Structure 1
């Protein structure tokens, strides 16, 4: 009996669970490790924030999906991996053996320097949506008068505009801080800048936020900006335990994988979604790629369990 351990309930693993639920793999025992009993379709999150959808509309029951696939569901998170023993250590200290391991744990929106410690982070999605509910009520009551969003990329701007729509009619000021020009390198930059201006959003480009606390933001140069709430939507960061393991990583600490989604250093380990970087084919950290990788990952995990050669992932 071979053990397949799925760590994380990301978009790729949803496809894996569906595949194994539709067609079980003989001689394989599955387990799913996730810190939450739910997964969220990230593409619908701005719509939830804007009020177009309810949180339940984009929420997926991981435990039910795991049960359908015959997988043991473990409500915990990974804290480390012993490559020699083929064991994943959880945050609660449990050691989980694997013959084949697959990682789909996403990325973090929190700055490793701790600057985002007191801010509402856009990832993980579940805690962000819960925090948004509290923030929305505080803004409606007048307790929060200024909301600062940190991050001038597509994610930060989309979330800001969604929050602005969700608080239509509420006298709350929105401010966007971006270390680089907003949407740097994107052709839509001027159009988005115009839309932000039309929505009454103040944009501070070229300013680095170094701290977020109860009384506002700390900026480079020692200045402070008063805001009752801060939302952190900067770039993606790799989970620290990945870099602390002996797994091959890219320069940013994400798992380095080949075109088959296998680890470059451990062929029995696969990774997909934000936590992985396909060496030679760098792509933005976006949920759409995790969705596309899912079916190939499912087939390659089956092949690995059967001792067969994997197939390459070709993004359309």
Structure 2
């Protein structure tokens, strides 16, 4: 039994922290105070965001309420943004609040948009992260089309990874339901093939699907300039647009590195197999912000979800002064990509297939995940 109260501070309301908070609520740890620091009172579940863009899910259905979650965990909620760490004095420095002291710290803040070096892009393009700001702009697009359904609309999307492809399909699906006129979408990708992190069947199938859906593909086109109403590529191609969305590779904020935590070249926090900082034993990290030195994982939501329970276990063991347990990420993972029309494409290793049944499976998996936060109970 611990004599003095220990302070556990969680920075960020990502998937891993949401799961850990729920588990701390189910089985509270005596003599431990928990504080969550998050910029927003709710956090989006990445698995349902494409469905939200397509109009299938409401905000409440795909956002986790962090205030009610912290109440369930008997934790304190601070709505603020962490901007630095004082590791020597064990304090979190916030933008608008007093420093928050900790004995044990965990960071799960996701990722931020990669620095966009293309002239005009920061001014005229809409980045998909941070997600709340992106959704605010997307809802403005929907409102504009709803108010003027007879007006043609043209969207540009830069980035042909899974995120850009899924966004193209879901945006088209939603806008076609409310527009009485033409909806044009142009997808720009610097490589010759889409979705480089997926197998050959999935890459070819998605390219054929986009073409059938009338989405204009611009492969091997590197956007080099953005103006208010058009993009220009290195090849000389110029395409006009009404709204431009930027879906390229994300990066990490620089404050963890500035604070003294060990990071890689793109500022992601380096952690060992226990999800523990390789430079500071009192700091843990999970989700997109963390990079395992022995098993680097793709920056995908499935890993943030899978890391939730191992993170909780090791935070608890650390607070109890016990030995930690290594987390082993799976080598293969099932990726379900919604097509915006009630179907989904599965990607598993070298295999892939498409079916409406896969959308029902994805919907069931996602709703099941969210139900654990909508029905907070120690008996759940």
TM superposition score category, shorter chain reference: over 0.9
How much has 1:217 moved relative to structure 2?
A: 2.6
How much has 1:315 moved relative to structure 2?
A: 2.3
Superposition TM-score, scaled by structure 1 size:
0.94
Paired residues, what number?
316
Where do 1:233-248 residues align within 5 Å? 233-248=247-262
RMSD between superposed Cα atoms in Å: 1.9
Task: Confirm or deny that 1:225 pairs with 2:239.
Answer: yes
Q: Secondary structure at the match of 2:176?
A: coil
Q: Quick one: distance in 1 between partners of 2:152 and 2:278?
A: 48
Question: Which is further off, 27-36 or 213-222?
Answer: 213-222
Partner of 1:10: 14
Partner of 2:167: 159
Question: Which is further off, 217-226 or 36-45?
Answer: 217-226
Task: Confirm or deny that 1:64 pairs with 2:64.
Answer: no
Partner of 2:44: 40
Q: Quick one: distance in 2 between partners of 1:111 and 1:213?
A: 18
**1:43-66: per-residue Cα shift (whole Å, max 9, x none)?**
001111112111211111101101
Match of 2:196 among 184, 209, 212: 184
Distance of aligned partners of 1:74 and 1:208 in 2 relative to their CA distance in 1, 3 Å threshold: same
Q: Quick one: distance in 2 between partners of 1:59 and 1:185?
A: 27
Distance of aligned partners of 1:143 and 1:219 in 2 relative to their CA distance in 1, 3 Å threshold: farther
Match of 1:129 among 128, 135, 158: 135
Gapped regions of structure 2 (runs ≥ 5): 331-380
Match of 1:109 among 102, 110, 113: 113
How much has 1:206 moved relative to structure 2?
A: 2.0
How much has 1:244 moved relative to structure 2?
A: 2.3
Distance of aligned partners of 1:113 and 1:308 in 2 relative to their CA distance in 1, 3 Å threshold: farther
Partner of 1:54: 58
Where do 1:244-263 residues align within 5 Å? 244-263=258-277
How much has 1:213 moved relative to structure 2?
A: 4.6
Q: Quick one: distance in 2 between partners of 1:117 and 1:294?
A: 36
Q: Quick one: distance in 1 between partners of 2:272 and 2:163?
A: 27
Q: Which one has a bigger Cα radius of gyration?
A: 2
Gapped regions of structure 1 (runs ≥ 5): none
Question: Which is further off, 184-193 or 68-77?
Answer: 184-193
